[in-house]
A and B are shown apart, each in its own frame.
Chain A
Amino acid sequence: MAQLPELNNTLSVSQITGHIQHTLEQDYGNVWVKGEISNLTRHSSGHWYFSLKDSGAQLGSVMFSRQNQSVRVEITHGMEVTAHGRISVYAPQGRYQLIVDQMLPAGQGDLHLAFEALKKKLDGQGLFDPTRKQALPPYPDRVGIVTSPTGAAIRDMINILSRRFPLAELLLIPVKVQGEGAAAEIAHAIEIFNQRQDCQVLIIGRGGGSLEDLWAFNEEVVARAIAGSSIPIVSAVGHETDTTISDFVADRRAPTPSAAAELAVPDKIELDNRLSNLGQRLQKNILNRVERHEQRLNAIQGSYALKRPVLMINQASQRLDNMQDHSLRMVKEKIGNYGSKLDGFEQQVKALNPLSVLVRGFAVLSKPDGKIIRSVNQLKVGDQVQVRLSDGEVQSTIDSLNSKKK
């Protein structure tokens, strides 16, 4: 028999239910449960009510319509499933149940568990650490691709890479992307690219498929190869909603192979715009520069420091001009003076030259002793005289003499 309770040790039903609720919801807030579906009811509200059971126990479960819409397989009575969710206590009825948010057929459920386990392990080892991520090169020369040589993914990537950046060479290592040995091939291809070092960025991926189809990209060997790559890697596996371990380890995650191609290379049109923009910046810059220098030059030209010598030179030059004019004038004057003086002398000399008189038709008479005869009175009839003309002399005799009467 239990001892009589003490008043302050006693809990109300609500209180103990609250404690149970708190404990269960805290400890079982994130669980995977494996079991068989039974008593499945699809309510008109869209919610599913069922039990998960095994040989020893059963667990009341509910999956609300918002969550059960994402279940891709048809869930039927008796099916083995793996369900993820949280334990919740429904206080009014004193019941606990599993609120399911994800449900998979048992085989897939195992993959999910493996996925979660590997994700947790690699995360714990720091493989998803943002600081490990390498930046993608802005203009890769060569893009390495690890995917299947057939299928939509490679075609989509080639289309986009050619359209955006035909400058980059593409180098594909064809691999199996699903099934036995796929993961090892993918990992090996990444290693080969790392040995070659001729690509600046790698894209690894494949198109959409089931969880099993995508599984190679959830394997540790692939994750390790990605983490060990010194070349940046873009991971593009499946569709938008698919997430793989590769995506977490890779330097960039792209939702689809096409999107990966867009991430890996720049767009030609954007580049073209960028080049135009650089060209405009250059032009503006050089024009500004030239203008600035021109302004500086103008300012310097106008400055007093430069103006003063120019003024001085101008003034000096003017003075020189003046002086030159002046001296020229002086010289001219002098020359003029001498000239007229010379003219005067010439006249005088000419006037004094008796010969010049002779030219005009006069003659000079002289006695044989050379004495010049100036008057009739110096002569008598019969005297010999010399007559001198401009071009010679004549001897003559005086025949008669007539003196002028005064």
Chain B
Amino acid sequence: MSKKDKSFEVLMGELETLVSTLEGEDLNLDDAIKHNEEALQLIKLCRERLDSARQKIDKLVQSADGEWQKQPLD
């Protein structure tokens, strides 16, 4: 699953895990730098998501055949 497909919650979760891993001691410098870069990318991605989000609002209505369908809320 690429980062783009992940939900905001998953991204935030990964970010928080990365930061606490980094703040733990037993990590070599190479891994720390790798983790750090990854975390910075995640922060950027989360920010972009927040900034670019346009709220999508739908309603669910039941059609004649009893199926529930999504429609944009006017």
Contacts and interface: CB of A to CB of B under 8 A. Distances in A.
A296 to B, nearest CB: 10
Contacts of B9: 137-141, 200
Nearest to B50: A268
Contacts of B32: 285-286, 289
B73 A172 contact: yes
Contacts of A132: none
A170 B19 contact: no
A169 interface: yes
Given A137-B9, A173-B60, A282-B36, A167 B23 contact: no
Contact of B40 (A140, A173, A279, A293): A279
A317 to B, nearest CB: 33
Nearest to B58: A171
Interface string B50-66: 10011111111100000
A139 B8 contact: yes
A170 B58 contact: yes
A369 interface: no
Given A286-B32, A286-B33, A174 B54 contact: no
Given A290-B29, A293-B29, A172 B57 contact: yes
Nearest to B18: A282
Contact of B59 (A137, A173, A200, A275): A173
A167 B47 contact: no
Contacts of A293: 29
Interface residues of B, number: 32
Contact of B50 (A149, A167, A200): A167
A281 B15 CA distance: 12
A230 B29 CA distance: 44
Contacts of A279: 40, 43
A387 to B, nearest CB: 98
B3 interface: no
Interface stretch (A49-57, A158-166, A203-211, A215-223): A158-166
B59 A174 contact: yes
A6 interface: no
Contacts of A114: none
A168 interface: yes
A377 B22 CA distance: 120
B56 A169 contact: yes
Contacts of B59: 149, 171-174
Given A192-B68, A289-B32, A167 B8 contact: yes
A271 interface: yes
B57 A278 contact: no
A272 interface: yes
B12 A138 contact: yes
A282 B40 contact: yes
A169 B57 contact: yes
B41 to A, nearest CB: 11
A275 B12 CA distance: 9
A278 B55 contact: no
B57 to A, nearest CB: 5
A289 B30 CA distance: 10
Interface string A247-287: 00000000000000000000010011001001101100110
A281 B23 contact: yes
A124 to B, nearest CB: 35
B12 A282 contact: no
Given A169-B56, A170-B57, A275-B46, A282 B16 contact: no
A170 B71 CA distance: 11
B55 A162 contact: yes
Interface string B21-34: 01100000100110
Contacts of A289: 29, 32
A174 B60 CA distance: 7
Contacts of A290: 29
Given A162-B55, A282-B39, 20 more contacts: A137-B9, A139-B12, A149-B59, A149-B73, A169-B55, A169-B56, A170-B55, A170-B56, A170-B57, A172-B60, A173-B59, A200-B9, A268-B50, A275-B43, A278-B16, A281-B23, A282-B36, A282-B40, A286-B22, A286-B36
State the 6 A-B residue pairs at the shortest beta-carbon distance, nearest first.
Answer: A166-B53, A139-B9, A166-B55, A167-B53, A172-B59, A169-B56
